[in-house]
Amino acid sequence: MLTAGLLIPQKAALYHVIASSRNFYGVLSVVNVDENYLALRYGSTVHGFQYRDAQRARLATGYYGPASGANIVIRNWPQHPMRVGLVGLGVGTLAALAQFGDVFRFYEINPDVYKLSTGQQPFFTYLRDSPGRIEVILGDARLSLEREADRGDFQKFDVLVLDAFSSDAIPMHLLTREAFYVYAKHLRGPASVIAVHISNQTLDLGPVLAGIGRDFGFHALRVIPPLLPTSPFSQSDWILLSRDLASLSGDEILKRSEPFPAKTRPISWTDDYCDLLHVIRWED
């Protein structure tokens, strides 16, 4: 059995490409892994997967399992309907957590990613099967949110999930101080939570989020669920930010989190200056 669904084996006998597209953003591939699940691959990075059998098709897999930071926050949110913003669509996995009446609003820059989850016969069905109301805004997420704010269309998100940083080439403009000024305008209030997925093999983005927490006065926790070798969930690294400490004080959050920034030394990224050298994971 394959361990941790986002690890696709390199042996061609175990998977094959069933669809692909190429555009300005690169090459996307849908791969059928051992006739067990479909995965979305972008270059060498996998951006989500979904089981093919109906019994498990609505399971939140990969980086979004029940012990992940975003899953814990959304699943334990005290009031519904709730509004969730999501920067980065992937295969739409977190739509599985929506309840009836909830609004899950995805921002996705690559239209080909969205095409794989829409239409009469989508490869990935999380969006179609969700009981909540799903909205997808195509285009650069920050620019879309800035335009909405400029026209007074504040989204009032209870939770804002930022998940666009797993690849080697990250959109740094989504992690600057100016970007978080935009995000803050779209939060419902002090109790809202920003959940940032920072799993990355090349970059340690913890110092950047530590700087954001310091600059904005956010309370912060880090959630790194354990990797179970036979589970459909993957090792993930989440930073949870909120101006209201109570939003980060639930029993499950406290059980699965650790203090942040702890010993992490904060750095600040701005639109004028982003220093990648300080976040590269140098080999020993």
Average pLDDT, the chain: 91
Joined together, the tokens standing for residue 157 give 């998100």
pTM of the predicted model, to two decimals?
0.92
pLDDT per residue as tens digits for the range 13-70 = 457 898 888 988 888 999 998 888 999 998 777 888 999 999 999 999 989 999 999 9
Sign of CA dihedral 247, 59, 226, 14: negative
Query: Nearest 5°: CA angle at 271, between 268 and 274?
Result: 50
122 has a pLDDT exceeding 50: yes
Structural domain boundaries in the chain? 63-278
Peptide bond into 81 cis (omega under 30): yes
pLDDT per residue as tens digits for the range 182-199 = 999 999 999 999 999 999
Q: Which CATH architecture has domain 63-278?
A: 3-Layer(aba) Sandwich (3.40)
